[in-house]
Structure 1
Amino acid sequence: MDTTIAAPESDRRSPSPGRRIAAAVAVLALAAALVVVAMAAFRNLGLLVLTLVLVALAVMAGWTALVNRGTRRVLAAALAVVLLVATVVLLVVAALQIDASAIGRAVLLLVLVLVSVGAARVALGDDLTGPRTGRQVGPARRGVLLMNPRSGGGKVVRFHLEDEAQRRGIRPIVLHPGDDLRALAEEAVAAGADVIGMAGGDGSQALVADVAREHDVALVCIPAGTRNHFALDLGLDRADVVGALDAFGDAFERRIDLAQIGDRIFVNNASLGVYATVVQSEAYRDAKLGTAAQMLPDLLGTQAKPFDLRFDRPDGEPEGTADLVLVSNDVYHLESMTGFGTRPRIDDGVLGVVTVKVDRARDIPALVTAEATGHIQGFRGYRAWSTREFVVDSAEPLVDVGVDGEALRLAPPLRFRSLPHALRVRTPLSARGVPRRPRIGEAVPALLRVLAGHPAA
């Protein structure tokens, strides 16, 4: 009989003596590491400042080269190379002057950092994972697993998923070139499948999730794609591809949100602007960096034409353009434009909206700094909010959109909406929730709480 349960909270109520000792070790090791760093910085303050300045200038010169063409690109690239060479020469000269005591301090610092990080992981345990509510359910009666053998560089074959599924009593269906994934999923449900799984990328996960939603059957996500962002936010171990099959047995089931653009479902996010335009290129998959470098001058250069993306800001005022628009199924914690981060929850029933607007003439250095330091939220052209519905219009006949990593061109207006609790999803009982990576400012107070005998969060 199924029973409604919540995530195990015993560890959060009273940290064990072992966890409290680990918290003490983590805090003391961190304090000792900071002392070592402070002493080294005091002895080599001039070298440190000069190195940071050279690196910052090299990054800015490199970005200038990316967003320009012709003579400007050549000169900026040459300057970046010169600055990097100067940095390397400076570090080599400094290294030649290093004595045995300096090497000893470096080794000591490395050991202290490793000890602090390892002890912190033990001390914090699962306290900083996302909330987990739902119910425990029994094994699937007629489980079906759809598999894309081309996803993730061939993970289906590499991990012998077809054999592993059969061994567990799950009917495997392997996609072949030309197969219609949605039709296969519909046929599986029509044949009586009560749990349907997908081993593939997030675009395939979204398509099968839509079928599962329409027929109210449970979905199992097998992380056999390349990045597997959906699996990460479900709390799965993305490295344990075979272990995800345990969700067809005794498992944990809950309802999560889906998002929709027009009539298309997505599980992660849809992007417009710079990223969406770059991924449209046929050369992008084979040469990502080269393609981006070739296209960026036309997208973010000083002479680049602004994107025609129109939408309402959270205060209701209209916005006529943005260089990046990211609409997500629930809210991401973002640190940079190149990484979409993680979602603490995927059952809040909202869309997360992030927009970035770049003033070509004066914002590039600030954008580079914010991106390089992982503080994109501090960039002045960054806005983020949540909403149930969102509309993007444009005068263009078709707008480039990247949906769960797939490049599309869609006719405006683009209408996004959240579908709260639309999907039943199963995860193994061993899945512990979405891990959070606390920053120093958050981790130290959490460790002190554990040391005092209280839950970390």
Structure 2
Amino acid sequence: MVRRRVRRVEVSAPPAHRHGSPADAGHGRRPGRRVSPSRRAAAVGALVCFAAAIAVVLARLADRPVALPVSIVAVSVTAMAGWTALVQRGSRRVMAALVAALAFAGLLAFAEAAGLVSVLVLVGLLFASGGTARAAFGRHRPKGAVVGPARRGVLLVNPRSGGGAAERHRLVERAAQRGVEVVILTPGSDLRTLAERAADAGADVLGMAGGDGSQGLVADVARRRGMAFVCVPAGTRNHFALDLGLDRSDVAGALDAFGTAIEQRVDLGQVGDRVFVNNVSLGVYAEIVQSDSYRDAKVSTAAALLPDLLGPGRTPPDLRFTAADVLLVSNNPYHLHSLGGLGTRPRLDSGQLGLVALRVDRARDLPTLVALESMGAINTFHGFHQWNSPTVRVDAARPVSVGVDGEALRLAPPLQLRCLPGAVRVRVPRHAPGVPAPRPGIWGTVPALIRIAAARPAA
């Protein structure tokens, strides 16, 4: 193994599990979200339809020693890959759909042996199982108190974020229609100063239309002033909005949070005196964040840069952490499948930072790492470690390159990171769809459905 100068990071809680759910590690564990009766019923329906499809195959092909096992495997793979394709997004959905199509094609090869009627019944059962599985995973609806309209709402708008998303969605006009005052950032203006001025002028609700870095800055002003905050997803990825349960495609709809809305308290993260809403990345991932192509193509950029950044001749980052090349510290734990695409956070009020460390043997592990990153399955890599802690300290001999909510910075060590529990009141529209439930991979779908049916949430 290649020797590294990476040594140690001091944390308040050690990594108890390598691949375990971050919600199950560390201190301050809180109960997971309850599973609704409708989701339980849907999970039972998915499993029953799957079992019925297997039963049909057994009944029709019991006397055919070759066709029977092949058909059972084809039905199982079709169902599980179909479930995954329905609940995943992006490349994982495409890959799962392809596997399901190939398995289904193999199933049809035995149509003559099983009989046309049996094949049609199988198709119906598989479709029913897929539809009910999707309903079983569903979304967690926003929780909180219903509050009245803002007395004086102010929306700060970054017109350059998201490639001009504010203009495309006519946010200025639509905010004015709702009686919300708009402050537009101009070149050279200071966002924090503008937010402070709005608070001084009597605003009771501050909103930000921009990327996650801007969201964190304005949320910090709202926290310090005891004001409510509204997130309008007008950035590129809008990960904070996703985990708040907003519909990121309905940018203007987020303005409804200035009216009668649902208000909840959420945590913020802090590194030094800088607040973050998503994560702080250190090591190799911080260098990926600094790539010009990162914002538009996170997963492909990460996969493309990993060979150069972790190659045998590359000098490792000077982070004093136990054999780690990557350290990701998030405001609440992620269900993480990819460094480039990240994952989702089932909750933003656990009072914990989520920590992910990645250890790579540069000569042996790199091809596997790049393949798993491309597939969105990096959490299965043997050098992947994930755990929780309310605080973390990172030491280094010189200033550290970090990515704070996607913004590349250099900070002087030591880096003190901590969770700020329930730091800010966030308002979301009553029509917000909610946070997507954790999405398992192909082989994790059956256990996940069983947990849902038994009212045991994944997080």
Aligned to 1:442: 448
Aligned to 1:195: 205
Q: What code does the residue aligned with 2:196 have?
A: E
Give the alignment of 1:392-411 within 5 angstroms: 392-395=394-397, 397-411=398-412
Q: What code does the residue aligned with 1:262 have?
A: G
Aligned to 1:53: none
What is the distance in 2 between the residues matched to 1:351 and 1:456?
18
Q: In structure 2, do the counterparts of structure 1 residues 35 and 197 end up closer, same or farther at CA, with 3 Å as the change threshold?
A: farther
Q: What code does the residue aligned with 2:47 have?
A: V
What is the distance in 2 between the residues matched to 1:271 and 1:201?
17
Aligned to 2:248: 238
What is the distance in 2 between the residues matched to 1:270 and 1:398?
15
Aligned to 2:131: 118
Give the alignment of 1:144-163 within 5 angstroms: 144-163=154-173
Aligned to 2:381: 379
Q: Contact 1:124–1:447 (CA<8 Å) still a contact in 2?
A: no
Sequence identity percentage: 57
What is the distance in 2 between the residues matched to 1:282 and 1:430?
35
Q: In structure 2, do the counterparts of structure 1 residues 365 and 282 end up closer, same or farther at CA, with 3 Å as the change threshold?
A: closer
After superposition, the C-alpha distances for 1:113-135 in whole angstroms (9 at most, x for unaligned) are 44323223445666xx2783x32
Give the CA deviation at 1:140.
0.3
Aligned to 2:181: 171
TM-score in terms of structure 2 length: 0.72
Q: In structure 2, do the counterparts of structure 1 residues 435 and 376 end up closer, same or farther at CA, with 3 Å as the change threshold?
A: same
What is the distance in 2 between the residues matched to 1:122 and 1:216?
38
SS of 2:435 mapped into structure 1? coil
Q: Contact 1:270–1:327 (CA<8 Å) still a contact in 2?
A: yes
Aligned to 2:274: 264
Aligned to 1:57: none
Give the CA deviation at 1:337.
2.8
What is the distance in 1 between the residues matched to 2:269 and 2:232?
20
SS of 1:231 mapped into structure 2? helix
Gaps of 5+ in 2: 1-32, 62-66, 75-101, 440-444
Give the alignment of 1:98-117 within 5 angstroms: 112-117=125-130
Give the alignment of 1:76-91 within 5 angstroms: none
What is the distance in 2 between the residues matched to 1:333 and 1:368?
19
Q: What code does the residue aligned with 1:345 have?
A: R
Give the CA deviation at 1:258.
0.8
Give the CA deviation at 1:205.
0.3
After superposition, the C-alpha distances for 1:260-289 in whole angstroms (9 at most, x for unaligned) are 111111001011122211232446557878
Q: What code does the residue aligned with 2:446 have?
A: I
Q: In structure 2, do the counterparts of structure 1 residues 354 and 21 end up closer, same or farther at CA, with 3 Å as the change threshold?
A: closer
What is the distance in 2 between the residues matched to 1:288 and 1:233?
18
Instruction: Return the match for 2:365 from 352, 363, 366.
Output: 363
Q: Contact 1:367–1:379 (CA<8 Å) still a contact in 2?
A: yes
Q: Contact 1:352–1:384 (CA<8 Å) still a contact in 2?
A: yes
SS of 2:363 mapped into structure 1? coil
Q: Contact 2:49–2:128 (CA<8 Å) still a contact in 1?
A: yes
Give the CA deviation at 1:196.
0.7
Give the CA deviation at 1:152.
1.9
What is the distance in 2 between the residues matched to 1:173 and 1:331?
33
After superposition, the C-alpha distances for 1:10-43 in whole angstroms (9 at most, x for unaligned) are 993xx47xx7875564334333566799998955
Gaps of 5+ in 1: 1-8, 48-90, 312-318
Q: What code does the residue aligned with 1:231 have?
A: A
What is the distance in 2 between the residues matched to 1:138 and 1:246?
11
What is the distance in 1 between the residues matched to 2:421 and 2:184?
31
What is the distance in 2 between the residues matched to 1:289 and 1:255?
31
Aligned to 1:350: 352
Q: Contact 1:185–1:208 (CA<8 Å) still a contact in 2?
A: yes
Q: In structure 2, do the counterparts of structure 1 residues 443 and 280 end up closer, same or farther at CA, with 3 Å as the change threshold?
A: same
Aligned to 1:30: 50
Higher RCO (C-alpha under 8 Å, 6+ residues apart): 2
SS of 1:344 mapped into structure 2? coil
Give the CA deviation at 1:380.
2.8
Aligned to 1:338: 340
